[in-house]
Amino acid sequence: MSKEITSRAADYSQWYNDLVIKGELADYSAVRGCMVIKPYGYALWENMQAALDKMFKDTGHVNAYFPLFVPKSLFEAEEKNAEGFAKECAIVTHYRLKTDPSNKGKLMVDPEAKLEEELIIRPTSEAIIWNTYKGWIQSYRDLPLLINQWANVVRWEMRTRLFLRTAEFLWQEGHTAHATKEEAIVEAEKMLNVYADFVENWMAVPVIKGIKSPNERFAGAEETYCIEAMMQDGKALQAGTSHFLGQNFAKAFDVKFLSKENQLEHVWATSWGVSTRLVGALVMAHSDDQGLILPPRIAPVQVVIVPIYKGDEQKAQIDAKVKEVSAQLKDLGIRIKYDDNDNARPGWKFAEYEMKGVPVRLAIGARDLEKNVVEVARRDTKEKRVIDLTGIADYINALLLEIQNNMFAKAKNYMDEHITPANSWDEFERLLDEKGGFISAHWDGTPETEEAIKEKTKATIRCIQLNNTQENGKCILTGKPSTQRVLFARAY
Amino acid sequence: MSKEITSRAADYSQWYNDLVIKGELADYSAVRGCMVIKPYGYALWENMQAALDKMFKDTGHVNAYFPLFVPKSLFEAEEKNAEGFAKECAIVTHYRLKTDPSNKGKLMVDPEAKLEEELIIRPTSEAIIWNTYKGWIQSYRDLPLLINQWANVVRWEMRTRLFLRTAEFLWQEGHTAHATKEEAIVEAEKMLNVYADFVENWMAVPVIKGIKSPNERFAGAEETYCIEAMMQDGKALQAGTSHFLGQNFAKAFDVKFLSKENQLEHVWATSWGVSTRLVGALVMAHSDDQGLILPPRIAPVQVVIVPIYKGDEQKAQIDAKVKEVSAQLKDLGIRIKYDDNDNARPGWKFAEYEMKGVPVRLAIGARDLEKNVVEVARRDTKEKRVIDLTGIADYINALLLEIQNNMFAKAKNYMDEHITPANSWDEFERLLDEKGGFISAHWDGTPETEEAIKEKTKATIRCIQLNNTQENGKCILTGKPSTQRVLFARAY
């Protein structure tokens, strides 16, 4: 039952897969590009969902649910959006199977059950939602409409990776409607801040807030705001996006409202989403060669307790003390697990919970009981301490907070150290290959240059930072004049 | 903005649709047979989900997520299950759209992007899940596996109705794996009891627990347990099912485990589910001709407060008092809404919240303030009382409980009065046509007779009650000997 994992140094990509599989977050499935989210991984996602959902509701949003299917005629209504997703759409063409006359016990698609109009499985829901909003919005009194949906979506990716890029994934998508351009922009920025708050303060992953270059914008958006995180291999990961959609969807679906001034006007829109991809970000930002390291605020199990005993009598004594300690921890809202499964030895359990990234492990033996102490091991630093059982709950509570803060500080330090200015093309290429991270460089502002840099180096513009410093310079590739630096990186 | 609804007496079916649409629970969508669950309806579903999810976790279950798609070869592996769902499957055959050369700005399915193997959109997930369990189960130590999934499923129904029967619906599906037949049966029965507990104590809808006749069993099950509820028009509604699946799926997917006795054996299975259909049951069980009546335990808003005032000064005084009362109510965990929107008059608001079924309405005016009282109206009985504001929170808290209990008692009374024995075919037909409800009658136990009764009357066997009384009698249709009565009804 030993679970060896590849080290980061040996093969970063394999290390990641090992963590996800052996940490029991997810599994491959029989469906190309789709994964199974295992109970431990799903419990992590549930904690993330709960925190985000509360943040959405606290900012005035409500949840709803729209159909999985988008009729082709609606899908293609907003042309840029349709064009952007057309190549990765799963398409339902039939609605019935029948027994295969030439193959006993097998089924075949019934050719007589062909749909008159094909149905696209939503890769994102702007089309179906704005077609619905048309019926809900007549007057400025119906605005703003602040709706979020938790759902599955499908994007037929050719190259997939567990959590980071799967054909089906789970996400939330907010879709809001506003009377004015200004209000919609405020909303898009507000939700970017909500995402940054969540990713930094719950996931302990620092992010940079910015806007995308036109090349990297969401198909159908006027402006895409994003948060970008830095992984331990120096590659960037887009952790969330929030789009100002202008009136594009309102025009495509003819959604107008009567303003206070009694004018018929098109509605302004935003959409914003984060997905199970965040689980992948979490894994890659924090874990080490022994396994996952989960931030306490969203860890499914915050504290695991392992008894060390010989014989039933010692076990009974430990059980009694653990019961007492557990009650104290639960009173503080701490999520605990007492693993007294006698099929596995303590050493095996230690390795198992290290693999699973449980923030704090308590080991309690007969001799500890006599001294009224317990061994406390923290996952992030691997530090072990013997702590008096009196007041243990408060100690653990403070320790969980310290771990949360320490994880963020460590990741923040890594990110800060991996934002490097480049002032020449040689330096740019060398930094990318030797150090990685974000390279802050001048860019002449054209899509052609961005494309050329991508072709040469596989690096893309991750974002133009919000409130970016304006300074005159020369484009890193073309030498043409530039007014600001942007952040380049290779990315997931 | 008046929202008239059809009365139950005039057209029960239209009454139901009016409630769902005008009560803002759901809306029709552009996709045939699919609905949009609106924020108010979704909030109701979220409350139902939260209660059920806790009950599942309290009985040892964990959540996970499996793919939306089932490859055809897996789908057809368990033949009876496949046969049962084949005629209502949405099928993905292609994974890409391309621009239509003959139709500018339009897209078409790319014929070159045809899947080698078609993907079925899950109508239920036994196939994909048991194919996965094969990799997770080796030994008795891996059992039991107690997993639940919250998901969307698709069943291509020809005749659809909001919530009650939609092509796509939301549900939970539990899928458990056990070492013994006995343990699996205990699990199936346990989850039936969880469902009954939820539907009766949260939704205030009484149910009858029973097992299905072979004709009505889930495709692929050895035994289907069910809870059946009674609607106000005398028709039954299946509110939840729990299946003992025997070793059918384990055999179809070759899932074996090494027992304690070191024998390789097939695993035993259960599955169980409830869906957004329950929202339809809730609407039809309790509502009246003025609108919805929601049970307090799951109502999105439990108490609505409407101010009645002239001028800003009165408004400010009422606001201050409402703030105080609201804080007291919130402290007790009561979900409240203060509707001080000045675009609508109090009378309009009263009608609106009556329509939406908010259990308790408080109306507070300037004169009430002087007397330190408030008008309390309960939705279920329409009774109004003037209550002293001192101690109002405790009064409301008790009232919510009373409403919950009263709603259950009323529905229970209706159901009890609509279980009627029939001892002759004439009586059976007359009862069905004139009274409705459950008809308790002898049946010879054959599928042929059940089918014949269905053809003649549209009534089906809803269930054979758990712990059914054994008595000798003669089949209501054929006169052949019978050992017990079963419950017939026309059903949704």
Domain boundaries, chain B: 12-68+131-286, 303-400, 419-489
CATH tag for B12-68+131-286 (out of 3.20.20.70, 3.90.550.10, 3.30.930.10, 2.60.120.10): 3.30.930.10
Nearest to A122 by CA among A159, A53, A71, A64: A71
Count residue pairs from A and B with Cβ separation < 8 A. 196
- CA A18 from centroid of its chain's CA atoms: 19
Nearest CA in chain B to A25: B64
A chain contacts of residue B87, beta-carbon cutoff 8 Å: 96-98
| pLDDT surpassing 70 at residue A255 | yes
| Secondary-structure breakdown of chain A: helix, strand, coil percentages, each rounded to the nearest 5 | 40, 30, 30
CATH number of A12-70+126-286: 3.30.930.10
CB burial of residue B477 (10 Å; 0-12, 13-18, 19+): buried
Nearest to B89 among A42, A43, A95 (CB): A95
Nearest to A452 by CA among A485, A477, A481: A477
Beta carbons of B119 and A27 less than 8 Å apart? no
Beta carbons of A106 and B76 less than 8 Å apart? yes
| pLDDT surpassing 90 at residue A158 | no
Which residue positions in chain B have pLDDT lower than 70?
A: 1-2
Say if residues A491 and A237 touch (Cβ distance below 8 Å): yes
Beta carbons of A31 and B128 less than 8 Å apart? yes
B439 contact partners, CB below 8 Å, separation of at least 6: B420, B421, B422, B428, B431, B432, B459, B487, B488, B489
**Sorting pLDDT into bands at 50, 70 and 90, what band is A1?**
very low
Nearest to A38 by CA among B347, B145, B435, B461: B145
Beta carbons of B67 and A96 less than 8 Å apart? no
Q: How far is B23 from chain A (nearest CA, A)?
A: 14
Say if residues A130 and A252 touch (Cβ distance below 8 Å): yes
CATH tag for A303-414 (out of 3.40.50.800, 3.10.450.50, 3.40.1030.10, 3.40.50.2000): 3.40.50.800
DSSP B222: S
CB burial of residue A79 (10 Å; 0-12, 13-18, 19+): middle
A chain contacts of residue B116, beta-carbon cutoff 8 Å: none
Nearest to B67 among A45, A74, A168 (CB): A168
Beta carbons of A170 and B65 less than 8 Å apart? yes
Nearest CA in chain A to B121: A92
The sign of the dihedral angle between the CA atoms of B195, B200, B203, B209 is: positive
B5 contact partners, CB below 8 Å, separation of at least 6: B15, B18, B19, B22, B289, B290, B291, B355
CB burial of residue B315 (10 Å; 0-12, 13-18, 19+): middle
pLDDT of residue A356: 98
In 3-state terms, what secondary structure has residue A459?
coil
Beta carbons of A29 and B132 less than 8 Å apart? yes
Beta carbons of B106 and A76 less than 8 Å apart? yes
Nearest to B30 among A34, A87, A131 (CB): A131
Nearest CA in chain A to B63: A39
Q: Using N-to-C axis directions, what is the helix angle for B39-58 and B277-286, rounded to 10°?
A: 110
pLDDT of residue B321: 97
Q: Using N-to-C axis directions, what is the helix angle for B392-417 and B311-331, rounded to 10°?
A: 70
Nearest to B91 among A43, A109, A154 (CB): A109
B chain contacts of residue A93, beta-carbon cutoff 8 Å: 91-94, 109
Beta carbons of A97 and B72 less than 8 Å apart? yes
Query: What is the gyration radius of the CA atoms in chain B, in angstroms?
Result: 26
Query: What is the gyration radius of the CA atoms in chain A, in angstroms?
Result: 26
pLDDT of residue B104: 85
Q: How far is A146 from chain B (nearest CA, A)?
A: 10
CB atoms within 10 A of CB A65: 24
Beta carbons of B90 and A119 less than 8 Å apart? yes
DSSP B267: P
CATH superfamily for B419-489 is C-terminal domain of ProRS (3.30.110.30)
Tell me the whole-structure pTM to 2 decimals: 0.97
Beta carbons of A76 and B152 less than 8 Å apart? no
Q: How far is A29 from chain B (nearest CA, A)?
A: 7
Place of tokens 């030895």: A345
Topology match between the domains A12-70+126-286 and A303-414: no
Beta carbons of B97 and A105 less than 8 Å apart? no
Q: What is the ipTM of this complex?
A: 0.97
CATH tag for B303-400 (out of 3.40.50.1000, 3.50.90.10, 3.40.50.800, 1.10.10.60): 3.40.50.800
**What's the rounded Cα separation, in Å, for the pair A159 and A156?**
9
